[in-house]
Chains A and B, each alone.
Chain A
Amino acid sequence: MNLAHPGYEQLLAEISALVSAHAPPFIYVNDPVSPRNAALVVNSAISSLAQSSDALLRINHAQVNAVACLAPRMLYDTVLNQLAKWEVKWEAGCANWGGDDQRWNDNLDGFLHGLTAVHSFIRRADAAGPSKGKAKQADEDLEDSGQLVIVVERAERLQDQMPDLIVPLARLAELTKLDLSVIFVSDLPWEDMRPPFGACPDPYYVDVLPLSKDALLRRLSSVFEAVSSQSLPAAIAGPYHPSLLRLYQQFLSVLLDSCSLYLQDPNELQYIAAARWPGFVQPVLDDHNHGRQHGDDVDMDADDDASLKPPTEDVRMRLIRIFKPSFQAALQTLYPRFDHAANWAAMNYPEAELLLKPASETHPLPEAGELEADEGRIADLPRMAKFILVAAYLASTNPHISDLRMFGRGTDEKKRKRRARKTAGKSGTAKAPQRVLGPNPFPLDRLIAILGALLEENDVDQRPPAPEYAIPGEYTDMEIARVGIYNTIIELADTCLLHRMSSADKLDGPPNFKCGVSYATASALAQQLDVPLNDLLWDPA
């Protein structure tokens, strides 16, 4: 059984021990690193106990996810169906357990009665089941028949979705007077979700410690075995060929060395390993295929030798030297999910026939550089949207008192006075420039006004001629009042290029926005529009 979840032996043992010897009514499992794995381990521990042939252990088990159960009714249904081992059938109109006679899901009281009903149902089923031989023994056990275990995964979400249910769930054994145990699995500690006034009994705490490197190694290499046992027949050389296990373990060990400092979740590490491994092992497979092709030419009997052999120590060292820097790159891209594993793996295949080249010609793969923000197709935005974004950047970076000086068209235009740049502060910390501090919110009116100034300076000659506007600036005034402008602003706010700071249903006064693009993007846009962005910044770099 321990083989199923390497690395989590301790949790598995603890839960098994607890449940097999009448678990406490309320258990709280806290795993801040990987609650999903913890829930998996707890559930599999209980279900393997439930399926064991031990006659003394009759456990009925239900597992629910607090996110997936949107409403109490769904929680009740799920729990009762699972305890009664009832399968929802489409043909039967998706009826719940016991649905014909009575419904148990309309409120908590019904649920409690439902639990009692399920319990007696199980008792009857148990009594009917083994009645052929050992009816008498079963009768003796009736008083002690079976424990109900309910596991609630992501229990922290009960606080938002069903806050009223935390206390009843924690006291379920008391309320039903049944032999029942509720297990919460969460990444939050109990203190953070405990209801006030001591309404809940204290749970039995089970804390899951982060896995050690050794445990992680065992856990991740077990994945290799699982994949290789279910993948292609061993004769075909694939990345998960059994004879590559040694290489995989070494690969993991190096991978863990470079990543486990930042990352402890075994799932994330496994994700990175799964993405990197096919590329890592590809030179070995190439080498093997290459060798086989040549082998076929020379010697037709070579088939016996054709199975993939583990690479030599020399090759392993060379591979690791080449690939080690790319582990960091994988971590930087894959952990925040800038890309998904399959795509990253495909993008980062090494060049073909890597191992055939002399060692002096192979270079380590590049380490992750500065991750550039994905500009996407920002250049395809309509012209007006670009102007609005530049104006928004200016409005978010410049202090609003500077607007008249920066954009006002005075008698001599050249004299756009900036704040006198102070020499490095003599005392105290230097004030960080606004660009580093992040964008300031600004009202819509100010955005429109700056936009008007930008358009007047930079867009006038691009417009179709309109002789009806005689007064200087009148044309621009018309342009910035158009519906299209407001429309574009709303669209930009929807796509997070502008951030709306005031709530949408506030009607009084202009809405507030914040710029959502970086300096790099804003200056790229300004360049496309021929706007001298640096001249318009109050505090340029």
Chain B
Amino acid sequence: MSIDLEDIQQTVIYIPYDGDEDVDAPEPPLALPSVPIEADLGNGPQMRFEAYKAAWTQCLERVKVIVAELYSPVVSDVMDRLDNVHSDVLPGLPFPELPVLTITDLSSGSLFLEYLGAQLELESDGEDDVAPMIVHHLYPNDCLNITSAMKNLISGFVDRDKVAPRRRPAASVAPYDLGLLQAWYDAIDIPRPSLAVLLHEFEQFDANVVQDMLYICSLQVARLPLTFILSLSTPSPSSYLQASLARATLALLRVYHFAVPSGPEVLHTVLLKTFFDPTVDLLLLPGPALLEFIENHYLTHAPSLGALLTVLQVAHLKHYSTEPLSLLAHATPRLAPSPTPAELHFLEALLARLHSPDPSATKTPLVWSAHAKSVSVLLQAVDAAREEFARHARRTKLGFQLLTLVVAALRGSASDKTLARWTGPAAVSRALDVDSDGIRGIGNLIRKLSTATLDALLGTLHVYLRDLPHEIRTVEAESTARSQIVSYRNPSGELRGEIAEWLEGYLADLLQPLEDSTPLWGVWYTGLTLFPSELINPALRPSVIAGLSVPRAYAGGGNTSDDDDVDDADDLQALPDTSILFAGYVKAGKLINVYDWFDHFRVVLEGQRAAAKTAQGSAKGKAKATPKGKKVTEDEERWKLAVQARFVRALHELDYLGFIKHTSRGGGGGGRKGEYVLRTVLGVLE
């Protein structure tokens, strides 16, 4: 594996650990944070990865479709504006203005721009009667100074011409001269395209460069129809432009603002339509804990669809890497009737899971023995469970959708606080799964609706059920529900109570917790599993400190409790050098005397050495006589040097981590001597 550290395109470089060069080091290997998967097939990881890929692709495609739906109105607005931006001009202006479109996406994600770019490409490839549009993308790094900015701007258009006549660099127009672009443009056949420049992450551009670029382009705009599209992530684009550009520059521009939809509604739409659309079957459904984390993360930290996708992907990865049975998600592997030991192990686990204590099942022993006898029967049971779960999930999703409609109708009459329980996917999912209440109480609210609203609600429900695809509609409950609704239309006052009761009952019937569907629900549903939020949004300083002070517990996922019993000194000896040094750091005052610190370190190392010797000694008995004389002193010298080296190495590690500030060395500054260092992190709890 070759690692190219010089490649600036890579944001992250993975350097694999290829063993400790210092083999003699007495440090015991740390327990790696791995999830023990006891019963697994031989190619289990591979199969789980396949299952993950299938599920994630499905989910991603679905989200993409919904996002495209959300974005398309704005995109078509932008395209309409781009089409007539050079023709729709107010007469009588002193100078032609340079049209500028700002696209504000709070999340600063590039999802919208990608989509817009794709649409623009489509249009320019498509119809021939419309003058096409050429879009060129500029990034902050292209525009570090005005020369490179103009050069990139011009070459972005000019270099599209594959058969360009040869230009001699010295004898022709400079590559940053807008005259070059003008000459190219004048030579294009009519209808000439309009030119658009998309500036990504506009806030990162140097304002002076942008101002000059806009000025130069505005001088030519009458002959060279350029349009600038700025991608902004500020909530208020007009005040941002006011603040960052001079008035003289603003006076050259005609600015149109567009906003990409964002906010909680977008999140709710995406989640509802992805995971709770009965017409879409996904391989993995998120449970309330995951949905709550998604909602919280989106609303509190990163309101961007890109971040949402990341969270979903990590959730998928986690599910498929920790749940051993998840390889069954998509398809059941065909196993031979006589399984290998590993397979047998796996099948046993599967059998146990399938027959996990379930009070409702009465025929368990009989079925159990049937399953236990034959591999194929067991696998058929898995297939049946999969179907059962899908059916159950479809009903639950239908219930979700109907509940959303009901809650929307109630919004006028009931207070938001009462409805909050059923607003948004996370809340509903939590209400279903955890609160025993579920949707209890919604009937009372429905009863209070006015006749007209209730009728309108019934109408909506009816239309929704009627428009469902065939395969879902045929489920008997739904067809009866429809006839029920029809019979309730045009309700009179007395019927209201009955309708409310029926609706509540119907919804409650649909909205059964997914855990009840089949014992194997964990394969397709994340349930109450928590999302590893530290992966997405870690707390840096506490993590580093925890890693330094309790490295073993930290690396082992924090569940090794036996370390706590060991008393302090022994504990310290068993730690890596840096942690030993850090323990001294925590105990010290604001200023640390390096010599004292070293002393403390040395004492711990001596203890370590002694412990190692006793261990060695007891193992090897008295086979070796203690070396004498010169050899002893030599060994001592070597040991002292080693301690110093290890101290310096650990010290520098802490230094790199930013824990130390060096005081000025003697000299003129009047500071302390170099033997003191300053602590930068105070108030660390031991």
Contacts and interface: CB of A to CB of B under 8 A. Distances in A.
A290 B258 CA distance: 37
A338 B236 CA distance: 12
A377 B203 contact: no
A90 B184 CA distance: 5
B254 A231 contact: no
A70 B143 CA distance: 14
A125 to B, nearest CB: 21
B212 interface: yes
A275 B92 CA distance: 9
A484 B301 contact: yes
Interface string A492-507: 0011110000000000
Contacts of A477: 542
Given A376-B236, A464-B292, A337 B172 contact: no
Interface in A419-458: none
Contacts of A482: 301, 537-540
Interface string A211-231: 000000000000110010001
Given A90-B183, A342-B254, A70 B240 contact: no
A351 interface: no
Contact of B92 (A94, A240, A486): A240
Given A337-B247, A342-B89, A382-B301, A495 B176 contact: no
B301 to A, nearest CB: 4
Interface string A186-224: 000000000000000000000000000000000000011
A337 B91 contact: no
Contacts of B97: 340
B90 A464 contact: no
B537 A271 contact: no
A315 to B, nearest CB: 22
Interface string B93-126: 1110100000010101000000000000000000
B596 interface: no
Given A95-B172, A377-B259, A277 B92 contact: yes
A239 B92 CA distance: 10
B132 interface: no
Interface stretch (B30-38, B161-169, B190-198, B309-317): B161-169
Residue of A77, A378, A495 with highest tally of chain B CB at under 10 A: A495
A374 B301 CA distance: 24
Contact of A382 (B254, B299, B542): B299
Contact of A336 (B173, B182, B242, B542): B242
A105 B170 CA distance: 8
B170 A78 contact: no
Given A270-B93, A374-B239, A478-B539, A103 B170 contact: yes
Contacts of B93: 270-271, 274, 341
Interface string B245-277: 001001101111001001100000000000000
Contacts of A494: 203-204, 233
B188 to A, nearest CB: 9
A463 B293 CA distance: 10
B94 A271 contact: yes
Contacts of B94: 223, 266-268, 270-271, 274
Contacts, number: 213
Nearest to B161: A90
Contacts of B184: 90
B167 A94 contact: yes
B119 to A, nearest CB: 23
Contact of B91 (A67, A227, A491): A227
B150 interface: yes
B238 interface: yes
Nearest to B289: A464
B637 interface: no
Nearest to B243: A496
A73 interface: yes
A410 interface: no
A71 B542 contact: no
A337 B183 CA distance: 32
B147 interface: yes
Contacts of A487: 301-302
Nearest to B203: A494
A29 interface: no
B88 A336 contact: no
A124 interface: no
Interface in A237-269: 239-240, 266-268
Interface in B194-214: 203-204, 212
A375 B238 CA distance: 9
Interface string B564-596: 000000000000000000000000000000000
Interface string B428-464: 0000000000000000000000000000000000000
Given A99-B172, A240-B92, A488-B301, A464 B147 contact: no
B300 A384 contact: yes
B92 A338 contact: no
A103 B215 contact: no
A354 to B, nearest CB: 21
Nearest to B261: A380
A483 B219 CA distance: 45
B240 A495 contact: yes
Contacts of B250: 336-337
B180 interface: yes
A369 interface: no
Interface string A86-124: 001111111110011001011000000000000000000
Contacts of B263: 377, 380
B655 interface: no
A69 to B, nearest CB: 8
B296 interface: yes
A300 interface: no
Interface in A466-517: 471, 477-479, 481-484, 486-488, 491, 494-497
A285 interface: no
Contact of B147 (A71, A336, A481): A71
B481 interface: no
Contact of A495 (B88, B234, B238, B298): B234
B237 interface: yes
A456 to B, nearest CB: 15
Contacts of B1: none
A378 B238 CA distance: 12
A495 B203 contact: yes
Contacts of A298: none
Contacts of A478: 539, 542
A337 B249 CA distance: 10
A378 B236 contact: yes
A494 B179 CA distance: 33
Contact of B255 (A266, A340, A376, A382): A340
A67 B216 contact: yes
A92 B166 CA distance: 8
Nearest to B180: A94
Contacts of A95: 167-168, 171-172
A65 interface: yes
B146 interface: yes
Contact of B235 (A74, A231, A277, A378): A378
Residue of A91, A337, A477 with highest tally of chain B CB at under 10 A: A337
B153 to A, nearest CB: 12
A239 B90 CA distance: 11
B303 interface: yes
A93 B183 CA distance: 9
Given A482-B538, A488-B301, A494-B233, 4 more contacts: A71-B176, A77-B174, A99-B172, A337-B251
12 contacts: A67-B216, A70-B146, A88-B179, A91-B165, A96-B173, A240-B92, A270-B94, A375-B236, A377-B262, A482-B537, A494-B203, A496-B244
Interface of A: 36, 65, 67-68, 70-71, 73-74, 77-78, 88-96, 99-100, 103, 105-106, 223-224, 227, 231, 239-240, 266-268, 270-271, 273-275, 277-278, 336-338, 340-343, 345, 373-378, 380-384, 463-464, 471, 477-479, 481-484, 486-488, 491, 494-497
